[in-house]
Amino acid sequence: MSKVEAIQYGERKVYAVGAFNRGVAEWLQRLPTVWVEGEVTELRRNPRWQSVFFTLKDPSDGACLGVTIGRGRFDALRLDLTDGERVHVFGRPELFEARGDFRMRALSIERFGLGDHLAALERLKKKLAAEGVFKRRRPLPLLPRRIGLVTGNDAAAKKDVLATIAARFPAARILVAETYVQGPLAANAMIEALGDLAAAPEVDVIVLSRGGGSFEDLLPFSDERLVRAIASCSVPVVSAVGHEQDNPLCDFAADARASTPTAAARLVVPDATELLARLDRTRGGLARGARTVLERRRERIVHAHERLRRAPSLAVERKRARLEHAAGRLRALSPRATLDRGYAIVRMGDEIVRSRSAISTGNEVEVELADGRFGARVE
């Protein structure tokens, strides 16, 4: 860095603009880092820029201070700042020598009171979690008879919820409770609205809805009284507060959490078109199933009828086969079969002669052959 020197004009020392600016910039660099409070205005960022620029404004007298911060550092803070938010900026003053532009080089940014609030909310979150306040998760009704909606007066969130529900399920009935959703009165007002909706006839589910806002705007949704009221509500509660990155404590106590009011509407009612299509598919499946069962039963009946038709003839055939088998056996065992082989049966009177001793000379006997019989006398 070149030395800051004045030009001597007689008894007068005169500094060139560049030298003057360098001198002031060197002097400013000796100052310590400080915290400065103000409202964010004229926030400017561009993906091609290495820095993010905004103006810090004092709301009491309108005084302004230009602020610059490295884009990487700003993105890492994930503050999602918008104009009008009150912040604390930590950094040091500097002077851009080429233009004599005085500004503050920021090293960190916090929303106003964010540190204290975050610490208090973290303590409250741990306390409620230890008590089991965040454990209850009841299923949402598939087809609620009536939907309760706690929302702000003339809020965009209310319009989003109502429009989405009407588009998805036109037959849905909605009971709206408009109340404060920001400021010191909001927590008590929302608790009262929640109780009224839970006690209303046929209300099966309640949506607690609010659009995005600053950290301070969303603080009522982390109020311990409201969180406990949600956890003890007699009907399921859907929390749809802020944006995806916002996590007030009511999100943990609710039975379901939606990233946006529109997403909450999708949670509490089905898509009527999709539901009707599913019913058509189910109806078609039932019809196909019924036809399949009937076809199987018909085939069984036809098969049974055919078996019954053939049963008598099969039974007769089996009986005939058995009879023929028995007849064959009888024929094989019949004395006649023996006669056919050349034997004869000798009778004397009604008795068969089985022994020589059974007859005497002169006895008349009858001899039966295979092809007839004749009389004889024993000699």
Residue type, 288: R
Per the structure block, which two tokens stand in for 12? 């007068």
Region of poorest pLDDT, from 27-36, 213-222, 265-274: 213-222
The CATH code of the domain at 7-112 is: 2.40.50.140
Position 59 confidence tier, pLDDT thresholds 50, 70, 90: confident
State whether the Cα torsion 199-202-204-206 is positive or negative.
negative
| Arithmetic mean of pLDDT, 321-335 | 79
- On whether the CB atoms of residues 97 and 137 are closer than 8 A, the answer is no
Beta strand 34-44 with 51-57 is antiparallel
Indicate the average pLDDT of the chain.
Answer: 85
Taking the CA atoms of 158, 162, 168 and 174 in sequence, report the sign of the dihedral they define: positive
Q: Is the dihedral of CA 46, 47, 49, 55 positive or negative?
A: positive
What pLDDT does 348 receive? 85
- 36-58 confidence digits (pLDDT tens): 998 888 999 888 899 999 999 88
Instruction: Report domain extents, the chain.
Output: 7-112, 116-273, 336-377
Q: Which helix (H) or strand (E) holds 14?
A: strand 12-14
Residue 87 binned pLDDT confidence (cut-offs 50, 70, 90): confident
Q: Yes or no: say if 206 and 244 are a contact pair by the CB < 8 Å rule.
A: no
Q: Which residues lie below 8 Å from residue 91, measured CB to CB, with a gap of 6+?
A: 33, 34, 36, 67, 69, 104, 105, 106, 107, 108
Backbone angles phi, psi at 142, to 5 degrees: -70, -45
d(CA 371, CA 366): 14
323-331 contacts, C-beta under 8 A, 24 or more apart: none
Strand pairing category for 345-348 and 364-369: antiparallel
Sequence-separated (6 or more) residues with CB below 8 Å from residue 313: none
Bridge partners of residue 226, in order along the sequence: none
Domain 116-273 coded CATH 3.40.50.10550:
yes
Q: CB within 8 A of 203, min separation 6: which ones?
A: 144, 145, 146, 147, 148, 175, 197, 235
**Count of alpha carbons within 13 angstroms of residue 328, beta-carbon side:** 6
Per-residue confidence (pLDDT) for residue 339, from 0 to 100: 67
What the block records as the tokens of 161 is 């919820």
For residues 175 and 350, what is the distance between their CA atoms, to the nearest angstrom?
116
Cα separation, 184 vs 258, in Å, equals 24
| Percent of the chain clearing pLDDT 70 (strictly above) | 94
Q: What is the pTM of this model?
A: 0.52
**Measured in Å, how far apart are the chain's first and last C-alpha atoms?**
172
- pLDDT band at residue 83 under the 50/70/90 scheme: confident
Burial tier of 219 (Cβ tally within 10 Å: 0-12, 13-18, 19+):
buried
Q: For the segment 221-269, what is each residue's pLDDT rounded down to a tens digit?
A: 989 999 999 999 999 999 988 777 778 899 999 999 998 888 899 999 9
Output 185 or 80, whichever has higher pLDDT.
185
Distance of CA 308 to the CA centre of its chain: 56
Predicted confidence (pLDDT) at residue 373 exceeds the cutoff of 80: yes
**Which range has the worst mean pLDDT, 194-198, 205-209, 341-345?**
341-345
Beta strands in 17-70 (DSSP E): 34-44, 51-57, 64-70
| Contact between residue 207 and residue 150 where contact means Cβ atoms under 8 Å apart | yes
| Residue 189 CB neighbour total at 10 angstroms | 19
State the pLDDT at residue 274. 86
CA 81 from chain center: how many Å?
32
C-alpha 136 chain-centroid distance: 17
pLDDT surpasses 80 at 213: no
Q: Does the pLDDT value for residue 1 go beyond 60? A: no
